[in-house]
Amino acid sequence: MDWHEILGYLAGFFITVGILPQVIRLFKLKSAHEISLLFTLLFLVGGLCWLIYGIIEELLPMIIWNGIAVFLMLLMLAAKIKYGEKPQDRKL
């Protein structure tokens, strides 16, 4: 494994792990009104594009980390859909 590949694994790790605290927070607080739906959708589409590119180019670090990132962004989208209303807007 050369330094280019190590750099790819490190970059993917930090970007992907950076999403994790937000996803955990969304489900823990059951609140997602402060998260932008546009951000979530754009990040998801970007992650899918990088994943497809990684598959086409057979770049294992991109496949692994963008696969995980896409999964996390799908969780974030699900939280946004489920918990996206402001607390005072929720029906009891």
Give domain limits for the chain. Answer: 19-86
> Can you name the CATH fold of 19-86?
Monooxygenase (1.20.1280)
Residues of the chain with pLDDT under 70: 87-92
First to last CA, the chain: 56
Tens-digit pLDDT profile for residues 28-51: 999 998 889 999 999 999 999 999
Q: What is the pLDDT at residue 90?
A: 54
Q: How far apart are CA 44 and CA 67, in angstroms?
A: 11
Residue 86: C-alpha distances to residues 24, 80, 83 (Å): 18, 11, 8
pTM of the predicted protein model: 0.84
